[in-house]
Structures are given as structure tokens and as C-alpha cells.
């Protein structure tokens, strides 16, 4: 293999790994939001404003996860071509 081919292959692999790390960060953020809502449900279930905030955190966590998945798949598809 020539130098430029090796360099291009390694750059592509680094980009793939960076894409996976970014996806894992999206997952971690979504789980943190959902865990925060679980805390609100557990300790403040009698107070309506906290229930609304908890539901918003669940929706936000789901949206973050969905955006992360869509971004991951989009970048993965572009890297194949």
C-alpha cells in the first residue's frame, strides 16, 4: 500500500470511530435526561409543576436519542460512499 492510501484508510477509520463516540454521547445525554425525570417522578410526584417537567424531560430524552440515531446513520451512510 502506498502512503496516501494508508493515510486515507486511517483517516476514514478515525472518522468512523468519532461518529460512534458521538452517538454514544447522544445516548448518554438521553439517558441522563430520562434519569432526571425518574428522580422527579420519585420524589416530587405530588406536585404538578414537577410532573410536567418530568414528562418534558422524557420527551426531550427521546428527541435527543432520535436525533442522535438519525445523525449517526446519516454520517455512516455518507462514509460508505
Question: Is 80 exceeded by the pLDDT of residue 66?
Answer: yes
Q: What is the mean pLDDT of residues 49-63?
A: 97
pLDDT in tens, 6-36: 999 999 999 999 999 999 999 999 999 999 9
Q: Evaluate if residue 1 carries a pLDDT over 70.
A: no
- The whole-angstrom separation of Cα 16 and Cα 27 is 17
Which cell numbers hold the place of 12? 476514514
Listed residue (16, 13, 33) closest to 72, CA to CA? 16
The pTM score is 0.88
Amino acid at each position: 500500500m502506498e502512503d496516501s492510501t494508508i493515510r486515507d484508510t486511517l483517516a476514514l477509520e478515525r472518522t468512523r470511530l468519532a461518529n460512534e463516540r458521538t452517538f454514544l454521547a447522544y445516548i448518554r445525554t438521553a439517558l441522563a435526561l430520562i434519569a432526571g425525570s425518574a428522580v422527579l417522578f420519585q420524589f416530587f410526584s405530588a406536585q404538578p409543576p414537577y410532573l410536567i417537567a418530568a414528562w418534558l424531560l422524557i420527551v426531550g430524552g427521546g428527541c435527543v436519542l432520535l436525533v442522535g440515531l438519525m445523525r449517526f446513520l446519516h454520517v455512516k451512510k455518507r462514509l460508505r460512499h
